Copies of this chain bind each other. A is one copy, B any other.
Amino acid sequence: MGLEDPNMVNAGDMNGSGNLMDFLDEPFPDVGTYEDFHTIDWLREKSRDTDRHRKITSKSKESIWEFIKSLLDAWSGWVVMLLIGLLAGTLAGVIDLAVDWMTDLKEGVCLSAFWYSHEQCCWTSNETTFDDRDKCPQWQKWSELLVNQSEGASAYILNYFLYIMWALCFAFLAVSLVRVFAPYACGSGIPEIKTILSGFIIRGYLGKWTLLIKTVTLVLVVSSGLSLGKEGPLVHVACCCGNFFSSLFSKYSKNEGKRREVLSAAAAAGVSVAFGAPIGGVLFSLEEVSYYFPLKTLWRSFFAALVAAFTLRSINPFGNSRLVLFYVEYHTPWYMAELFPFILLGVFGGLWGTLFIRCNIAWCRRRKTTRLGKYPVLEVIVITAITAIIAYPNPYTRRSTSELISELFNDCGALESSQLCDYINDPNMTRPVDDIPDRPAGPGVYTAMWQLALALVFKIVITIFTFGMKIPSGLFIPSMAVGAMAGRMVGIGVEQLAYHHHDWIIFRNWCRPGADCVTPGLYAMVGAAACLGGVTRMTVSLVVIMFELTGGLEYIVPLMAAAVTSKWVADAFGKEGIYEAHIHLNGYPFLDVKDEFTHRTLATDVMRPRRGEAPLSVLTQDSMTVEDVETLIKETDYNGFPVVVSKDSERLIGFAQRRELILAIKNARQRQDGVVSNSIVYFTEDPPELPPNSPHPLKLRRILNLSPFTVTDHTPMETVVDIFRKLGLRQCLVTRSGRLLGIITKKDVLRHMAQMANQDPESIMFN
Interface set of A (CB-CB < 8 Å, partner B): 10-11, 13-15, 43, 46-47, 50, 53-54, 57, 278-279, 282, 286-287, 294-296, 298-299, 302-303, 306, 309-310, 539-540, 543-544, 547-548, 551, 553, 556-557, 560, 593-594, 596, 598, 600, 602-603, 645, 651-654, 706-708, 710-712, 714-716, 718-719, 722-723, 726-727, 735, 737-740
Contact = CB atoms under 8 A, between A and B. Distances in A.
A652 B716 contact: no
Nearest to A15: B716
A256 to B, nearest CB: 17
B593 A47 contact: no
A726 B726 CA distance: 6
Q: What 4 A-B pairs are tightest by C-beta distance, nearest first?
A: A738-B738, A707-B715, A706-B714, A651-B738
Nearest to A567: B299
A15 B603 CA distance: 12
A557 B310 contact: yes
B544 A279 contact: yes
A285 to B, nearest CB: 12
B539 A737 contact: no
B54 A598 contact: yes
Given A306-B557, A708-B712, A737-B653, A722 B43 contact: yes
A371 B287 CA distance: 51
A299 B540 contact: yes
A53 B738 CA distance: 32
Nearest to A725: B726
A715 B706 CA distance: 7
Given A706-B712, A707-B712, A710-B710, A302 B14 contact: no
Contact of A726 (B278, B560, B710, B727): B727
Interface of chain A, main secondary structure = helix
Given A302-B540, A652-B737, A727 B723 contact: yes
Contacts of A718: 15, 46-47, 50
A326 to B, nearest CB: 16
A51 B598 CA distance: 8
A298 B293 CA distance: 14
B645 A737 contact: yes
Contacts of A50: 596, 598, 718
A299 B43 CA distance: 29
A598 B278 CA distance: 32
Nearest to A739: B738
Contact of A551 (B53, B287, B551, B726): B551
Contact of A295 (B10, B13, B287, B723): B287
A722 B716 contact: no
B14 A714 contact: yes
B714 A722 contact: no
Nearest to A277: B553
Given A310-B557, A598-B53, A722-B727, A302 B712 contact: no
